[in-house]
Structure 1
Amino acid sequence: MGPTTGVSDFESVMSRFQAKRADKITQLTKTLPAYYAIFDILMYKDQDLRGLPLMSRKEILAGLTLPSDSFGVAPHVEGAGEALFEQIETRGKEGIVGKRKNSVYETGRRSHAWQKVINWTYADVFITEYRKQEFG
């Protein structure tokens, strides 16, 4: 997330991800804090939860005590997907994922019960040079 906005910031995420030295990581913890948003739970106390419906998994997730304020459960919206998507468009975000409430987690394949709705953005560009080789 951005340092003060609370909004996802890809460059900030990469700055944190690329940090290797312990002192740099400690510094970034203060100046560029990270937030881990949890949107699903697949295992709990050695029990495989993937076969449970989405809403059952979300109930389990909501009941967990998280280790710190740096962790949070991603909210979900029921029945207002169009309004949510309008907010996503306004904020210039990537999109949303619509999920059927009774869907199970299908490992290794894209489920038709989960649909990504992309906020496509377009730009007019002018190509001034074209090269049909590497790095062209």
Structure 2
Amino acid sequence: MIDRIQRFFQQSLAQPGSESGTAPSLELATAALLCEVVRADYHIDDAELDALHRLLQSHFGLSDAQVVELMEMAQEEVDDAVDHYQFVSLIKDNYDYAQRCELIGMMWSLALADGEHHHLEEHRIRRLADLLHVAHADFIRGKLQAQGSQD
């Protein structure tokens, strides 16, 4: 599976002059944490999957095929992971505070994409925000912004 991940990023996402290694892993880690939010309520809704697809596509500038493959790999990673440490530590080490807040906002957008506010999704986002060292005020700000864009 690691060979598949490396091949995907080398073929699809590598850009000339970019540092190899960290960016693809960050993309996969970001997608994996977003997948965790989608499955937090034990019901994967098509609206949430569509929202995940759009978020990844716009955030990383990927094609449809690249996003589909990234989502599949992220889901495999989440299924195989024992905890969130590998994803969270990579993001904490490479994303600045504003980027981590943006990620929390993306999580809220996913959680609200199906038109429901489920306490399990909120709990998962709160836990991830704590692990990412995002202040509670910014956690709430992300929630309110996502709710405002849903209206």
Structure (1 or 2) with the larger CA radius of gyration: 1
Instruction: Please state which structure has a larger fraction of its residues in strand.
Output: 1
- Structure of higher RCO (CA pairs closer than 8 Å, 6+ residues apart): 2
Fold shared, TM-score > 0.5 on shorter chain: no
- Given the two structures, how large is their TM-score scaled by the length of structure 2? 0.27
**TM-score using structure 1 length:** 0.29
